[in-house]
Structure 1
């Protein structure tokens, strides 16, 4: 059996530059990852199976086909390897802007690659076909993403930085958020991408005004530095100058009955 952590993805900045003729959007983003996420286990089996556990399992139980099973099929079509039993222990909220499904798909590819001796760099074409964030999650390191997000350039990260993720329990449709983007190009990532912005925050906040309250409360916490919404929302995050201050903030935010995840950047 092989086990992989599907680490939560953060967009420390996300600039939407243009709508593309293919229906996607031209992006410039700074990807980062945290220590925690979903847990994926894969082992060879006589027949394919997929099982869900964890606090967010029920949300996916009705789906049937999903990014994990699609990733497994795509891997077998490209590299063989037979049938597998896959278990996903789902801890990240769904449709929350932290790459849960994309991270799960990437973890599936990494696990299958380990089982069958396929290098990560040989699976990026499969990842790209599964979704815009899957290549970044497969890469799994701090990186500038361009194009749809699949053109990746590794950059120095902030490993060990305390971070708090907060989701108010509202699922936000990525497609709807992008549909409501106002189409204005507000410029590229700055030299320090952390000084950028998230162009999807305004439309996401219009759809889910509770994001305003999350960001305001995070910003007000002692020790909070960079505070922003990730991806298309509704998960928000703050980087902290100490784990003690992060943990104190986690208690404050958890009192709202919101989902909170204290972690660290990798």
Structure 2
């Protein structure tokens, strides 16, 4: 038996950090949603008790460093599954890009193995498992659009944003999330994005207000560390993108565009500036 799962990328429409917690994590308040750029996972049961991962991408680990591998091992250990699994990962989401590609792969693995092995694990339990793997994994288990609080694991589902095009552009560099958070001083953040404004803009399907409410307190740190990201954002703004923001800790910059013709023009304009550019739809 085989099962297939789609693992979409996520973007942060709003990312605020409230304080540094005693456990070392940061208390966050974020609005996250998914876009139609996705990895695809194929899972097949093995008779022997092992985990094997393959991928067409030559730049990702295929051992215990891979979050999908960790998810498979966690579900096997927690539910005493003595069977093995072969996972093929068709990688489309850029790595270390601020798009939660690894977290979405882990979430898809949890969902897929739950079906493959008929474990009947309820979604809230899958989310709790996901939280052991990473802060973005619980959201990726459920998908959709949500407000995330705590360290990212406390989720409140909200309606989908207004339908639009999303231009994603990743410069040729990788950003360390821990490095960016390590340089953040939560008590010195000059301007916090208004998460309530973003939520209201989404609820009323007000595209212009969504664009005006975009905000990410990590953006200035990454832009200062990597001038290429700042240049990419400026380029996207000059091309006429309605709303532009860095996703997560970067380095991917995304732009929201209402009309398809304009999205295609901006996509073509960015292709001369950046190799990894995608024009996708917001998942609504």
Correspondence for 1:104: 105
Partner of residue 132 from structure 1, selected from 131, 135, 143? 135
Q: 1:52 to 1:207 in 2, by over 3 A?
A: farther
Q: Which residue of 2 aligns with 1:197?
A: 215
In structure 2, C-alpha distance between the alignment counterparts of 1:244 and 1:49, rounded to whole Å: 45
- TM-aligned CA deviation for residue 254 of structure 1: 1.4
Worse-matched range after superposition: 12-21 or 43-52: 43-52
Contact 1:211/1:234 (8 A) holds in 2:
yes
Does structure 2 retain, via aligned residues, the 8 Å contact 1:14–1:197?
A: yes
TM-aligned CA deviation for residue 93 of structure 1? 1.5
Q: Distance in 2 between matches of 1:75 and 1:197?
A: 36
Q: SS of the counterpart of 2:166? A: strand
Closer, same or farther: CA 187–136 of 1 in aligned 2, 3 Å: same
What RMSD in Å do the two structures reach over aligned CA positions? 1.7
Aligned mates of 1:4, 1:13 — CA distance in 2: 27
Deviation at 1:63, TM superposition (A): 5.6
Alignment-derived partner of residue 149 in structure 1: 152
8 A contact 2:63–2:69 mirrored in 1: no
**Aligned mates of 1:211, 1:63 — CA distance in 2:** 31
- Normalising by structure 1, we get a TM-score of 0.93
Task: Please give the TM-score of this superposition, normalised by the length of structure 2.
Answer: 0.87
- Partner of 2:215, secondary structure, is coil
2:243 maps to 226
Deviation at 1:61, TM superposition (A): 3.6
Cα separation, 2, equivalents of 1:50 and 1:37: 21
User: How many residue pairs align between the two structures?
Assistant: 263
What does 1:34-45 correspond to in 2, within 5 Å? 34-45=35-46
Equivalent residues of 1:5, 1:36 under 8 A apart: no
Match of 1:66 in 2: 66
The residue that corresponds to 2:201 in the other structure is none
The corresponding residue for 1:163 is 166
Aligned CA distance change for structure 1 residues 234 and 40 (closer, same or farther; 3 Å): same
1:212 to 230, 251, 257: 230
Between stretches 160-169 and 113-122, larger displacement belongs to 113-122
Instruction: Describe the SS at the equivalent of 1:58.
Output: coil
CA distance in structure 1 between the aligned counterparts of 2:176 and 2:258, rounded to whole angstroms: 32
What runs of 5+ residues in structure 2 fail to find an aligned partner?
199-209
